[in-house]
Structure 1
Amino acid sequence: MVLGLPNGTRACLFDLDGVITDTATVHTAAWEETFDALLRRYEVGDGSRRFVPGTGFAGIVDGRPRVDTVRSFLSERGIELPEGTPDGPADLETVHGVSRWQSDLFDARLRTEGAEVCDDTMDYLTAARGRGLLTAVATSSVHCREILRAAGAETLFDAWIDGVVAARRHLRGKPHPDIFLAAARDLGQHPSECAVFEDALAGMDAARSGRFGWVVGVDRARQADALYAHGANQVVTDLTTLIGATGSGLPA
């Protein structure tokens, strides 16, 4: 093994949020504000109910396209809205409108709060590229390029599959493997030659169903058992522990 990866690995595919950057706080705040607005508008009550992110929140949001998150939340709360269109206005009248509403809130918060880069991933990316491995980012985020540009990490990737590209190519979001498979194709590699780095369970499912050669669970949320159950070959809390890994995959 080199860098904790099996021999024959030629490319590394990285999820964005939770692996390369940490915008979870920004995302959560934008979702909370959006869901609160929906609850005040559509649920029976005195208008004072608030959405409180909890254990189920990660399952609704983590790793999924924004519009699928909206659909899941509406379904759980028994709120029915028309689909609308992706290019429609940001409002609380349609599924796509709510998605754009949250996106606008996230944009505003991102401009003021920024995105925190995961230093361990930056170190691993540098080591991987130094070893001649190809690298790609594979995410459903439509903000991917601006986030990485702001973080100074835009030049560390040979291919990009983000929410904008996924929409243009009609790729399904995670837990479907489409985004990862497209990244492998853009790098000219077979999935068996690629390692996937993910922190979300939906991403684990996507990597497993895509039959990728190696799947690294990046455990930012203390859910190692769940990451293994969803298809991880190994789980780490810090990617720098893999930089000196040889043989068994443990640090040399």
Structure 2
Amino acid sequence: MTIDPGTVAAAVLDADGVLTDSRVLRAAAWQDTLDSYAAQYARATGRPQQALSVPAELRTELTALLDRDAAAELLRAHGYRSDLACRHLGPSGTDLLDLLVGHADQRFVELLRTEGVKARTGAAVLLLDLRAAGIRTAAVSTGRHCAELLRNAGLAHLMDGMVDATDAEHHHLAGPPEPALHQLALKLLHSTPGRAVLLTDNQETVTAGHRAGFGSVITVTRHGVGTGAPRNGPAVQDLEGVFVRPHVR
């Protein structure tokens, strides 16, 4: 897949699945949080402890702090009552999902700082090529701490803009499949959608990209192990399959 700087002025890339492998850390943070919650719930209610493993179909949603529905669905499926839990686990009026999201976010930062995160294969080279061609770049994450994440992966200095869940909360923006986050990224890059390319590994972000009007949406399938993204559009196995045509001055 070749990006032509003659028609493309901006590139927006997923921070979590395309630029880095942070979804592994985010899923681990959620699993630790759910394990702790299950133990506390059993102690508080006197009920037997049940395992709360993160099923594959919910892993992507649970890594996104903008989506509380996935966590609620998982708890309901295992018979957990939030009213009983919050009565014992938090101050009066505490929202259970807020409690869990906060714990998972804190655990993610701990894992990021102790275990680190790797840049995806080809990420640094592609970002350098995009900058050399005069194409501005932005990263989008549906979790928090995008800047620290990319600094840890050695990619932050190659980005012209970043958008994450903190921005979404500040501006009251919905996450994918709604296009608002990616429209904000385009605004930061001073680019129109038609002259921008989006690289993602997630079906909902593919939908968001089309709704935002991106000129091109490229799916990164990660060696055939994607997150439900369609195969009927432009697709590559990793970022080494994306090339930038040299800019002709």
TM-score, with length taken from structure 1: 0.80
Q: Corresponding residue for 1:58?
A: 59
Q: What's the CA shift string for 1:11-70, capped at 9, x where partnerless?
A: 1001111111112222221111222234442799521x3233333233533556254543
Q: Corresponding residue for 1:181?
A: 183
Q: Corresponding residue for 1:249?
A: none
The separation in 1 between residues aligned to 2:177 and 2:46, in whole angstroms, is 33
Q: What's the CA shift string for 1:107-127, capped at 9, x where partnerless?
A: 111111011111312111111
Matched residue of 1:14: which SS? strand
State which drifts further: 218-227 or 113-122. Answer: 218-227
Matched residue of 2:122: which SS? helix
Q: Corresponding residue for 2:243?
A: 243
CA shift for structure 1 position 77: 4.1
How has the CA–CA distance of structure 1 residues 159 and 170 changed in structure 2, closer, same or farther, with 3 Å as cutoff? same
How has the CA–CA distance of structure 1 residues 244 and 5 changed in structure 2, closer, same or farther, with 3 Å as cutoff? closer
How has the CA–CA distance of structure 1 residues 243 and 116 changed in structure 2, closer, same or farther, with 3 Å as cutoff? same
RMSD: 3.0
Q: Corresponding residue for 2:10?
A: 11
How has the CA–CA distance of structure 1 residues 163 and 225 changed in structure 2, closer, same or farther, with 3 Å as cutoff? closer
How has the CA–CA distance of structure 1 residues 202 and 74 changed in structure 2, closer, same or farther, with 3 Å as cutoff? farther
The separation in 1 between residues aligned to 2:165 and 2:61, in whole angstroms, is 18
Structure 1 contact 6–214 (Cα < 8 Å) conserved: no
Unaligned 5+ residue runs, structure 2? Answer: none
Give the residue type in structure 1 aligned to 2:23: A
How has the CA–CA distance of structure 1 residues 93 and 65 changed in structure 2, closer, same or farther, with 3 Å as cutoff? closer
How has the CA–CA distance of structure 1 residues 120 and 183 changed in structure 2, closer, same or farther, with 3 Å as cutoff? same
Q: What's the CA shift string for 1:202-234, capped at 9, x where partnerless?
A: 2122112222111111112625694226xx731
How has the CA–CA distance of structure 1 residues 200 and 63 changed in structure 2, closer, same or farther, with 3 Å as cutoff? farther
Equivalent runs, 1:1-252 vs 2, <5 Å: 3-4=2-3, 8-40=7-39, 41=41, 46-47=48-49, 49-61=50-62, 65=66, 67-77=68-78, 79-81=80-82, 94-220=96-222, 222-223=224-225, 226-228=228-230, 233-243=233-243
Structure 1 contact 198–218 (Cα < 8 Å) conserved: yes
TM-score, with length taken from structure 2: 0.81
State which drifts further: 141-150 or 236-245. Answer: 236-245
CA shift for structure 1 position 132: 0.7
Matched residue of 1:102: which SS? helix
Aligned residues: 236
Q: Corresponding residue for 1:250?
A: none
Q: What's the CA shift string for 1:178-207, capped at 9, x where partnerless?
A: 110111112111111111111122212211
Structure 2 contact 198–216 (Cα < 8 Å) conserved: yes
Q: What's the CA shift string for 1:153-199, capped at 9, x where partnerless?
A: 21211122112222111111122111101111121111111111111
How has the CA–CA distance of structure 1 residues 157 and 77 changed in structure 2, closer, same or farther, with 3 Å as cutoff? same
Matched residue of 2:17: which SS? coil
How has the CA–CA distance of structure 1 residues 46 and 30 changed in structure 2, closer, same or farther, with 3 Å as cutoff? same
Q: Percent identity?
A: 25
The separation in 2 between residues aligned to 1:111 and 1:53, in whole angstroms, is 23
The separation in 2 between residues aligned to 1:12 and 1:107, in whole angstroms, is 27
CA shift for structure 1 position 94: 2.0
The separation in 1 between residues aligned to 2:106 and 2:57, in whole angstroms, is 24
Matched residue of 1:115: which SS? coil
How has the CA–CA distance of structure 1 residues 213 and 135 changed in structure 2, closer, same or farther, with 3 Å as cutoff? same
